Structures are given as C-alpha cells and as structure tokens.
A and B are shown apart, each in its own frame.
Chain A
Amino acid sequence: MTDKPLLEVRNLRVEFPTREATLVAVDDISFHINAGEVLGVVGESGAGKSMTGAAIIGLIEPPGHIAGGEIIFDGQRIDNLSNTEIRKIRGRHIGAIFQDPLTSLNPLHTVGRQIIDTIITHLPLSQKQARTRALELLKEVGIPSAEERIDHYPHQFSGGMRQRVVIALALCADPKLIIADEPTTALDVSIQAQIINLLKGLCSQYDTAIMLVTHDMGVIAETADRVAVMYAGRIGEIGPVADIIQQPKLPYTVGLMGSIPAIGEDVERLTQIDGSMPRLNALPSGCRFHPRCPSAFAYCAIERPELIEAGNSQVACWLYDKEKGQGKSPAHGLQKTHTKAVSKTTTQPANTLLQVEGLKQYFDVSPPLLTRLLERTGRKYVHAVDGLDFTINRGETFGLVGESGCGKSTVARAIVGLYKATDGTICFDYVDDGGLDDKQRMQMIFQDPHASLNPRWRVREIVAEAIPAGTGSTKQKITARVGELLAQVGLAAEDARKYPHEFSGGQRQRISIARALAGEPEFLVCDEPTSALDVSVQAQILNLMVDLQRRMGLTYLFISHDLAVVNHISTKVGVMYLGRLVEWADTDTLFSNPQHPYTRMLLDSIPDLTNIGAKRSQVGGEVPSPINPPSGCTFHPRCPFATDRCKSEIPIASSVSGSSVACHAIEEKRLPDWKTS
C-alpha cells in the first residue's frame, strides 16, 4: 500500500517500575497497521501483546507507562495526549474488545443504556436517535428480537450473545481501528466461529482495521492479513499471514507452529520448545529466545537482533543476517517428527479397565420451598450427565470432547468418586465401586495448575503426601521416591525444596502429574490438563503424557474442549453434548469420517491452519441450559437435519461404519456423507 498507514508505532517501550528494578514489558517495537487491514499479534502469555494494545489506547495500568517511542494514529501523535484528549479518540476512532464477555459489561445497567451512553458521548445525537442507532447495531451484530433485548441486563444474555453486545459497543461510534484483545478465547469453538465471522464481516463492511491480539494461531490464520509474532516484549517476526504460517522464518515461530496439534495429521510427538517464556525480571541477554532456540549460536547471546528483511517478512534473528548467520540453517530440530503413532491402534486384546453404564448425575438447583409453592413450580435439576455408557480398555487413551457445560468434568468427578452418581454403575477393573476403596489405582489431574497445588506446601510435601503410607517408608526412602517422581516428569530432585509459586504454569502441571503418579496408579483422569497452558508448554505436557503412558502402561481418560488435542493424544474419542454421548469411535474413524451432525459441526468450526483466509462454516445457536434440556434428541434445536421424530424421541446409539452414533437422521439414512477432503 502506498498511502500512509492508519496506525504507526515507532520504537514503543513500556516500563513497569517495581521496587527491585524497572521491568520492560514492551521493548522497542515498531509496526504499522493500514486502513482496513487486520494485523494479528500472536505470542504466548507474557509476550507483551496485550500491553501493546493497551498502550495504543492509553490504558496501561499504573505504575506501567510508555517510556519511549511514539504512536501515530491517522497522522496525529497520540501517545502524549492528555487524558481528556485521548478520551475523544478512545471509542470514537479506536474501539476495543476484551477477552471475557461475562465481565466486560456493567451488570447493573441494561445493554441498551450502555450502548446509548457510549453513542451520546461520541456522536451529536439525541437520546432517541441514539436508541435507534443502538437498535440498528444490535440487529447488525445478530441479536435476535433486538427491540426487546435492548432493555435486558447483561446477565440475561448468554456468553456468545454478550460478546456480540461488546462488539456492538466497540463499533458504535464507527471507529477506524479496533483493538481486539483475545476476543474469542473465553468462548466455545462453535461460538468462536460465529464471533470471528461477525467481526470480520462488519469490519470489512465499514473498512475498519483490526489489531487482533490472540494466542490462537487458527484464529489468526483465517482472519489476519499480516501477523506479528511477539516474544518477551519484542517483535520476532512480522509479515503476510501466508508466509508466517506456511514458511515461518524465526525459529520461535517454527516451534510455535509445530507445537500446535492439527487434525488430519498423525504425529507421535509434537514439536517441543523446551523451557518457557522468560520472566521480565530475568530476561536473557542478546536474543531473548536464544536459551530455548535449537539453532542458537554464540553470537545470539551477545547482541540483540533487529528486524531485517527476509523474503516477504521481516525477522529479528541472527540466522538471517548476511554476515553473522552465514552457513547456519534456520530452525533445524524443530520440524515435526512425522513418524506414525504406534499407540493409536492397539493390537493387544481388549482388556476393559473402566466400564461406565447408564451414568446419571443430577444436581438439585431448586428454588426454596416457599418460592416453589407460590410460583407453583416443581423441583429443578441440572441434568449434568444424563445416561452415559462407555468403556475404556487398558493402555488406551479415551478422549472426551464437548463444549462447556456439556458435562465432561462431571463425568470425571463421578468416576474418581468426588460425586456420588445419581444413577448408573461405574466398574473399575470389573469391580463395581460404590465407594471405590482402591483410590490409589486411579488419580486425577486438574485443569488449573495454579489452584490445584497447596501454595503453602513445598513440592516435596505435595508429592510425598500422595505416596501410599505404611510400606515401611523412611524419610530417606520418601525423599528418594519424590526425587524419582520429579525426574519422571522432567523436573530436578532439588525442585522438591521449592514452593509452587516458584514454578511456571507448565512446571506446576508437571508437579500435579508427579503427585498423581505417586501412588503408582493405572488410570489417570485428566480434566483439561493443558487448556490453561500456552501452546509450546501444552506440547511439552502432551509429549510427557505420551512418554509416561508408553513407559508405565497408563490408561488415560482425557477430557478437553480442544478437538485437535484430543485427536493428537487419544486412541478412542467420545463426543458429549448436554450430558449424553452422541458419538464415539476410534480416533481415526471419528476424525476421518464423523457421523453425528454435532461432531461434524465441531470439526467444521475448528479454524484450519492450512487454509488461510478460509471462512469457517457457520454453526447457529449455543448450548442450551441443562436445567431444561430440549426434548428428544437434545441437539435438535441446532441440527439442520432435525425432524419431528428428533424432537420427541431420544435416539439410541447404533453402530455405523465403525462408530457408535446416537442419531435418528443417521438411522434413517437421511444424512449426506462427510465431505472427503
């Protein structure tokens, strides 16, 4: 483009003075965004992505401040404006969208009032005109029956709908640039697809530029025109989306792309970048990535690389420097190992370890007796799990996927005995365990590594607690065992003396795994073990789990909302929707030939890295409340193939080309074949 860029950031530096030292969160970065362009900013947590966005709209939390450089928006320098002046630009010319739609709206005002307030602040409109515009906006972002909904409070909207309202709020003064900070991270994949399509459509319609900050490469691939990859406060690589995704130049980008599990790809181990993002108070010298970089050479630790032209993109890496990087091949050792996974198809005879039959878990959420009497309503139950059958064989990994609220975690908790099942049986190793005495043989790994370790205990105590007592264990023996366990998960024996807060998220999850292994279990229930982690760390943990399984013959129940992760690690997959399994099959069968419309919908809604700029197929609707699940097949309100039978009769699972599927349409052979791609 020849015309002047809409936004130009030159040598921006953001500092946080602390008592010990001044931390530099964003260090000397420069980039620009053209009018109508989508710039994706990716990087793992702590890379300084959000801080850059906050700096542009002048909303850095004190004591953080812009310590150098300039930000030029539409020909005007905006980083040194007074509070009153920048406020005229915020919302008017630069809009913002934040991550969590549940907390982005004021709970005490109606959405209409929040939109109208914002419109009146920026545009010379009367209350009445503003309301008309608010209505138009709500219709535009796809809120059904907007006339009625405009007077509703935020809590009356679902998550996806609230994010639509947030988009309406960001767009209400017709800004030229929108800074979208992880706009879809808190949403389910199917909703994510809706929101991304909406945002993209609206912005191209109004020629609005977007700075899309996210850690999700898939979202970037289908949305962005150009991508900036950030690492530890620096831009490592910036260029057109196709180049960055298909031919990444920076070793970090290569590793990042390789660590993302992809569907339709069968690798045993993911590419692993060892270590994690450095903390701001301990930044390495020279290139900040060099301690983790497999291609690093001596000079990398000495001088900081600046962005230089390399093909269509710019890269900050000495490998591409004409003098320093001569003869070095970039990023060897970070390619994916394309060996076929052996564990995927178990040849050994099936040996059932866990059998779940007719599992039901209801939670009583009834209003108080008096309310029930006055309003003549009965008791209310959340049908979290509503009749679930599956078996897991020894040595297998059973993946359970579904959107939030479908009952995945409840299943996990019921199996390990944290909940007493309302109905149904859970047989572990052929023993129906009403109470399960044999808890040692079954362990659980939780989602949040920050919340699942006692912050006041040393790692030694955390791990040692789970070592079974009474086996003549002396202090030395326990210490040795703790060291052994830590070594198994890739930590050092000396780490036993530290407290959990001294570790990064990934290391903490390793501690959780060590604790789970302490009792020498056969079966691990993993409830979203990697969803709180960055992709490069997720890859480390997934690789570790695969290694442990091979070495110790473990059986996993792996619960996740991420289909790609489940595809990577599981041998069998079950798809859950509103407390029921709608389809289960071998991983290969399920992902190559999905049967159930819901499975197909989920697969469709995954952003495809190989297909840049492609539109995802739209999926309507959201998961209904499990308090009043729809009658018949619970998926019928969102299913394009639903008939009257689906509305009244609960489908029973039957075997269709290798999968077990519960769907009337498949039974009646009304469903077209899955597109063969």
Chain B
Amino acid sequence: MLSFVLSRILQSFIVMIGVSLVAFSLFTYVGDPISNLVGIQTSDAKREKLRESLGLNDPMPVQFLRFIERASQFEFGISYQQKRKVGDIIAERLPATLELSFVSAMLALLIGIPAGIYTALHRKSWFSHFMLSASLVGVSLPTFLIGIMLIFVFAVNFNILPSFGRGEVVKLGFWSTGFLTASGLKALIMPSITLALFQMTLIMRLVRSEMLEVLRADYIKFARARGLSDRMVNFSYALMNTLVPVITITGLQLGSIIAFAIITETVFQWPGLGLMFIQAINEVDIPVMSTYLLLIAMFFVIINLIVDLLYYFVDPRLRVKQGD
C-alpha cells in the first residue's frame, strides 16, 4: 500500500516538473519578457540592466530552478497587463470555476451513472432508446452551440434565467460563493448544464457498455443460476464490477471539466479561470498563462491520484496479495 501511494506521488511529481518546464519556457520563447514590461522608448542600456537585474541572463537551468522555487512558494510573478500578483488574480477567480465545475461534475455523475445503469438493464425500453438518441446530441453538438441555444431559449425568449455572469455572490473569507443567493443559483443553472452535458452522455454510454459487458460475464450467469435476486445480481454484483473501469475514465473526465470550462465560461461570461485565461492569451499575459497551465496540471494530477487510490479500495485484486 505505502509503496503504491509513494510511487504514485513520485510519478505525479515528475509530471509536475515536466509541466513546469513547459510553463517556464513560455516566458523565454513566447515573446520577450522585457519588451512586455517596458515601453518602446526605453533605451537598450536600460533594457540590458533590467535583464540583468531580473536574472534573465543567467543560464537556463538556473532560471528554471528559480522558477520552480518561486512556484513552490506560490509566487507566480506579476501580471503584465493588470500589474497585480498572479496569485491574487487566481485566488479571486478560482471559486467561480470550482463551483461551476463541482455542480457540473455532480450533474454528470448523478444523471450519467443512473442513466447508464437504466439503459443497460432495460435495453429494449423506449426510455433507453430515447436516452441513447438524446445522448448522441450531447456528444455531437459543440459545447458553445448548446450554451448559445440555452441562452437564446431561456434568457432571450423566456427571460427566466440570466444570460451571463455569476449573479450576486457572498464573500466567505477569501472564497466568494454563488450558492447562497437566489440569483447566484439561478446563474449557475445554464452554464453547469452546458458544461455537464458532454461528460454526462459520455459517462452514461461508458457505464452502459461496461455494464452490458459485465452482465455477460460468467459470474453473473452463475449468480443467476444460484437464484440470487435480480436486485442483488444487478447492483451488488454487476454494478460493483462495472465501476472498476468506470472510475478511471470518470476521474479523467472530471479533470477535463475544469480544463474545458474555458468555452462555457466564455459563452456565459463566467468570471472564472477559463475566462481569465482567454483574456490572458489575447493580451499575451505570459505569467497568467503559465500559472493557469500549472494549476490545471495540478488538478489533473491530484484527481488522478485520488482515482488511483479509489481503485485500490474498490478492487481487492490490487489490495490483497495473491495467496498460496
């Protein structure tokens, strides 16, 4: 167990170093940091002095180590455009994205998994056919289109939901939440559905196909032959075994909910990390871009770590050593 966790943590660490390298090289290779900092009139001598004082003339490995050292202390530099600490900007934007992602993930799991189970168990029912056809729409239509259509119907035509923003937020320390106000909750509905739809259909189809696979397994046939009730066979035997592979994929998908929030946030002008990132790209705000990269990588790594540990608890074949 210990070695399993340790090796996973070690691997995560290596991944983070790799991503840091990419984030770091943004500074060096995407534009000249000095020209981004100073005006056109600055003399070459002054630029050289600045370069020296910022340590940009040091050898690359030294600069990289310095970058990692700062990043590990959550020092990400200063935004070129906003002239504020990047750490502060992120802290301000993070709650919006996390709340949106959390609601979307819950929607995707709480609807996707039961729908997958239902369509696997009742293959022939009209509801299964309906869900499967509907899920095709979810998979094939691009996210921004769904978002725009929702806005058109519910914000423009019926005028019952806000078309952009988070609504009113309540500050709880550094965290600003939209969960506590009516307008905040209303504002969450359309963006979270838009963001969840793709993952929901994916999870549903995954659960369905895995479950159909498991239902064909010998141990299910044997369980039925022993006269166990359908409920026990379907849920205690089939579902448990279905979840083992589903957990992995689902974990990865949850990571991409956070990462793909970019599009949804842009459509709904949601003041989160994604919108911040898009703005940063437009303005070539490299410190913000590189920090966003690091942050998303960290989310993925942490989620994967949790998934691996979950796997470990669900599947006794990993947990218990083969006996004599």
Instruction: State the A residues within 8 Å of B (CB).
Output: 57, 59, 83, 87-92, 95-96, 98, 100, 103-110, 117-118, 121-122, 152-153, 155-157, 166, 169-170, 172-173, 367-368, 370-371, 373-375
Contacts and interface: CB of A to CB of B under 8 A. Distances in A.
B45 interface: no
Contacts of B315: 107-108
Contacts of B224: 59, 90
Contact of B237 (A106, A367, A371): A106
Contacts of B4: 371
A114 to B, nearest CB: 8
A122 to B, nearest CB: 6
A105 B222 contact: yes
A158 B244 CA distance: 23
Contacts of B6: 370, 374
Interface string B211-244: 0000001110111111111101000110011001
Contacts, number: 103
B10 A91 contact: no
A122 B227 contact: yes
Nearest to B123: A62
B226 to A, nearest CB: 4
A98 B2 CA distance: 38
Nearest to A157: B323
A121 B317 CA distance: 27
B9 to A, nearest CB: 10
B218 A156 contact: no
A57 B224 CA distance: 10
Q: What are the 9 A-B residue pairs with the smallest beta carbon separation, nearest first?
A: A91-B227, A156-B323, A96-B225, A91-B226, A90-B227, A103-B218, A371-B3, A374-B3, A153-B316
Given A106-B240, A108-B315, A368-B7, 20 more contacts: A57-B225, A59-B224, A91-B225, A96-B226, A98-B225, A103-B218, A104-B219, A104-B222, A108-B314, A109-B236, A117-B228, A121-B228, A121-B229, A122-B227, A156-B322, A156-B323, A166-B222, A367-B3, A371-B3, A374-B6
B223 A106 contact: yes
Contacts of B320: 152-153, 155-156
B220 to A, nearest CB: 8
A87 B219 CA distance: 16
Interface size class of B (residues with CB under 8 A): 20 to 34
A373 B10 CA distance: 14
Contacts of B321: 156
Nearest to B238: A106
Given A98-B218, A100-B218, A156-B322, A87 B229 contact: yes
A172 B228 CA distance: 12
Nearest to A373: B3
A118 B236 CA distance: 13
B226 A169 contact: yes
A106 B225 CA distance: 13
Interface in B1-50: 2-4, 6-7, 10
A95 B316 contact: no
A155 B322 contact: yes
B317 A169 contact: no
B316 A107 contact: yes
Contact of A370 (B7, B221, B230, B316): B7
B317 A118 contact: no
A22 B31 CA distance: 72
B2 A118 contact: no
Contacts of B317: 107, 153, 155
A103 B219 contact: yes
B226 A121 contact: yes
Contacts of B10: 370
Q: Which of A106, A109, A166, A173 lies at the interface centre, i.e. has the most chain B CB atoms within 10 A of its CB?
A: A106
A375 B223 CA distance: 38
Interface in B233-259: 236-237, 240-241, 244
Contacts of A152: 320, 323
A57 B226 CA distance: 10
